[in-house]
Every structure is written in C-alpha cells, then in structure tokens.
Amino acid sequence: MNGMASDHNASSQEEYLPHYLQKEDPFASKLSREADIVAGFYLTVIGILSTLGNGYVIFMSSKRKKKLRPAEIMTVNLAVCDLGISVVGKPFSIISFFSHRWVFGWMGCRWYGWAGFFFGCGSLITMTAVSLDRYLKICHLSYGTWLKRHHAFICLAIIWAYATFWATVPFAGVGSYAPEPFGTSCTLDWWLAQASVAGQAFILSILFFCLLFPTAVIVFSYVKIILKVKSSTEEVAHYDTRIQNSHILEMKLTKVAMLICAGFLIAWIPYAVVSVWSAFGQPDSVPIQFSVVPTLLAKSAAMYNPIIYQVIDCKFACCGSGGLKTLQKKSSLKKSR
C-alpha cells in the first residue's frame, strides 16, 4: 500500500502542470480590464513616488558622502535597491497592466523576475545588516566602536554578492522565473515545489536563506535593542553632553531602521504567505483575484522608506534641536563659570 501511495504521489507530481503551461497564452491577463487599469494607475503612482523619494535620499546623501556614518551608508544602499526596483522593474508591469497582458515575452519575464528578486533580496539583506549594526551599537558598545566606514563598504560587497547569487541560481537550471497566475507580472517559479522533490528543495532553500533567516536576525536584533533601551537611557543620563548627543543620534538611526524594517516586512509577508501557499498547498488553490493584492502591496514597499526617513529626520530636527541647544547652553555656562 505504501508503495502504491508513493507511486501515486510521484505520478501526480509528474502530471501536475503549473498555470503557465495549462493554457496556450500564459501572459494573457486573468483580471478584468478595469482591474488592470486600476492596478496600472496604482503602480504608476507608487513608481513615481518611489523614484522621487529614493532619488532624493541618494542625492542628499551624495552631498555629504564623506561624512556618512556606517548605518547611513546602509540606508543609502537600501535607497539604491528601492530605486532599482522602481526604475528597472515597475515600467514592465505598468505597461503590461495597461495593455491587459504581459507584452515582453519569456525573456522579459525572466529579466523582470530576476530584477525583482535581486533588488528585493538586496533590500532585505541590507536591513539585516543594519539591524546587526544597530544591535552592536546599542547592546555591545565594545564591538560597536570598531565598526567603521570601510567595514560598511565590505558589508555592501557581501550584500550584493549574496543577492546576485540567489537571484541567478534559477538560471543554472535549479529553478526558474514564471508569470504570476493573473498573467501581467512575473516572479520566482514557486510552482516547482508541486512538480518534484528537487523543486521543493530549491524553494525551501530560497525561503530559508532569503526570508526566514534574515527576518529572524532582524527580529532578534530589535527585540534585544528594545530590552536594552530603557537601561541605556538611564545610564547615558550620567554622561557628558557629547556622549548624550551621540546617543541621541544613535537612537534616531535605530528608529529609522526599525520603521523601515517593519514597513518592508508588513509589505512583503502577505506575498510570502501566498507564495508558500502556492508552492506547498493544493495545486492552483490560490484564487487569482486574491493573488494580485499581496503582489501590489509588496511592490509598494519601495515607497515607504524615504517617507519614513524624512518623517523621522524632520521630527529629530524639530524636537531634537531644542534639546541640543539647551545642552549646548548648559555646557557653555559651565565653561564660563
């Protein structure tokens, strides 16, 4: 009986055809024309705001590039990843939504899938590095003091190599990129897990190294930071003005990093859940109309970061400047006395 069951499972995996092989035209939109137009306008607005916001962050950072701290260098790299998604990827999907079909063929589909995975993985690994930097700076001062600019650039090289490796692995025959079930976008071929054990191993590797492990590091880092903040604030109150000012800046950078990570995970986790459902659930069990919403939400992640960065920056400038001036006045009075 066990042998018959295993034969049945093997045959069902061999017989299973993903959605893009079940019909003659996998790139025809499965949504209504009105829904495609709404999605096209939505992505257009997201793309414009993301391009302007991240471009502004990069431009302003380039004006003070020699003064950027390691955490700020990572923030610039995150803006580069988000700008790459907006400039390289979004025009493909916008044109396709307005055209009511994917118009760039299989080569364009693979390029779009690679670019989205490459920049998305780069963003997540960058935020993982930022969370570790914040963790060392806040919770382990003895380690945080030796983290310099050249360490940040070494980390950037590792991040880009990591993202390049995992985004390019599917082209080596291990995986693939394929159209989404709704037809007007492309992504990693999650449906390989339905076809073979090798496909399941590939998808599980992607999930662990490009989602679960980085997310676990981020959560661990910020939980430890939150537990440390109260005691460190009481300790810093006894130090001089220079150390207090440095602590205020470190906490500002930590708030920016925490909000950026939270925004990214909130945007991408629904898409990850639907992708895992598609990979390991019943074949084609995800409704097409349901699958498009997490995809559009994930594509909006590139817009949040510059908004978060500017809001925290303005709040720090408005609220922190008064406190800094007060501290400076107190220190000048002490010196005059």
Q: pLDDT tens digit string along 249-281? A: 667 777 777 888 888 888 889 998 998 888 887
> Under DSSP, is residue 166 helix (H, G, I), strand (E, B) or coil?
helix
CA distance 27 to 39: 16
Task: Please check the confidence at residue 185 and state whether its pLDDT lies above 60.
Answer: yes
Name 68's Cβ contacts closer than 8 Å, sequence gap at least 6.
Answer: 61, 76, 149
How is 282-337 classified by DSSP, letter by letter? STT-S-HHHHHHHHHHHHTHHHHHHHHHHHHHHHIIIIIHHHHHHHHHHHHHHHH-
Residues in a beta bridge with 188: 177
Which DSSP letter does residue 101 get? B
**H or E element: which one contains 69?**
none
CA distance 280 to 274: 10
State the average pLDDT over residues 198-223: 91
pLDDT of residue 333: 36
Q: Which residue has the higher pLDDT, 154 or 136?
A: 154
CA distance 150 to 63: 19
Q: pTM (2 decimals)?
A: 0.82
Name 90's Cβ contacts closer than 8 Å, sequence gap at least 6.
Answer: 43, 46, 47, 50, 299
How is 8-44 classified by DSSP, letter by letter? HHHHHHHH---HHHHSS-TTB--S-HHHHHHHHHHHH
pLDDT of residue 239: 54
CB 122 within 8 A of CB 163: yes
Q: How confident is the model at residue 87 (pLDDT cuts 50, 70, 90)?
A: very high
CA distance 57 to 62: 9
Which tens digits make up the pLDDT trace of 94-128? 999 999 999 999 999 999 999 999 999 999 999 99
Rg of the chain (C-alpha set): 23
CA distance 171 to 226: 41
Residues in a beta bridge with 28: 101
CB 111 within 8 A of CB 105: no
Q: Which residue has the higher pLDDT, 108 or 67?
A: 108
CA distance 292 to 286: 10
Which tens digits make up the pLDDT trace of 300-336? 888 877 777 666 555 544 444 444 344 344 444 344 3
State the average pLDDT over residues 230-237: 58
How much of the chain, in percent, has pLDDT values that exceed 90?
38
Domain 27-232+240-312: which topology?
Answer: Rhopdopsin 7-helix transmembrane proteins (1.20.1070)
**Residue 212 CB neighbours (<10 A):** 13
Task: Please check the confidence at residue 183 and state whether its pLDDT lies above 80.
Answer: yes
Q: How confident is the model at residue 162 (pLDDT cuts 50, 70, 90)?
A: very high
